[in-house]
Structure 1
């Protein structure tokens, strides 16, 4: 049986929601971060080459990386609407957002996170210099790319209710972590009514609520 090794406040929430949406049979093993350092425990790091979440075990298989796990799980559900097949009208849209979640959105958010961490942990006066430099990086690189992505999301969600098209797909599931992280930072406070409705649809879904109950945290994302 597949086991989800679920780390609190991490991307493994995606897999938890996926399994609940599929009605899959699985085991859930939850790990807590160190309350002092927020680092993952050693027994969790031993599962994954990078010590990152999510990780699943399935027999002798140990698999990391969100989208790899999603594809592995959906291979057991070939008729699932969560992965529109070739020829389906929503397939191009699904594929784009399924890969943009990791390849574009989270990579840009990762840059922004690193900049913030370096600024906050570097002593003055070097920290002040870094803040000025990183401000230009945000202005010229980070913010324009995030703005373009968020604008495209708003346009696409004006046409169809989900990132994957007319119905929920794995694109929505893999986007849930970076989208909730962006919302917590205030990215969608003004001028994103279609995106706001997407959040409402997601949070109203029985499978999402079931995953939140099993996650049992005040947030699905890690706050830096």
Structure 2
């Protein structure tokens, strides 16, 4: 029996979705973020030294990192659905989007979120705030903002021509891509990105996704 160590409002939600799509039997161990710091609880370090989620406990040990978990589940449990493309362009797209999600899209997305929260929080004493805000704006405008915008336009263009990321049916690549895109939509920053919005709506409408929401509890991005 598999066990998913599930942290609220985290990447583990997409693993729940895949588990439901594959009709795999599994247990859930729930963990709650600290309400002050929003960090994962120390209890997760007993599961994996990094103390992060998701972690999947399998008969062979624990697997951390959602991409590795997705690959494990697809390899061992995919039958007729969520099968990895075997060759051609679909396979190349699968490889690309599987790694793009966390390698290229999430870093600037998280950086923008952290820096904008820092700006909203402000500085003490008050006269420091204009200085820190100018510094934050400089960082966002010079690197993270343009980098994120370029990545999102690439995704938007691709989804305007394709229903799924790697072929004619959903795959692990779609599982990897849903978390950054649904968090972006939930933040209100995808208003001009129609294809991305439609992709998120398409995933959220799937019965397996709704079942994952019902089992996973609090989730801010759906």
Under a length normalisation based on structure 1, what TM-score does the superposition of the two structures give? 0.88
Segments of structure 1 that go 5 or more residues without pairing to the other structure are: none
CA–CA distance in structure 2, aligned partners of residues 105 and 178 of structure 1: 7
Post-superposition CA distance 1:115-164 (Å, at most 9, x none):
23443264244443221012022112112122112211121112211122
Question: Mapping of 1:1-224 within 5 angstroms?
Answer: 1-77=1-77, 79=79, 81-119=81-119, 120=121, 122-123=123-124, 124-190=126-192, 192-220=193-221
The farther-off stretch of 85-94 and 165-174 is 85-94
In the superposition, relative to structure 1, how do residues 118 and 72 fare at CA in structure 2: closer, same or farther (>3 Å)? same
CA distance in 2, matches of 1:157, 1:181: 17
Checking the alignment, whether the CA contact within 8 Å between 2:164 and 2:170 is kept in structure 1 is yes
Task: Return the alpha-carbon distance in structure 2 between the equivalents of residues 220 and 3 of structure 1.
Answer: 23
Point out the more displaced range, 107-116 or 48-57.
107-116
Cα RMSD of the aligned pairs, angstroms, is 2.1
Matched residue SS, 2:47: coil
Count of residues paired in the alignment: 220
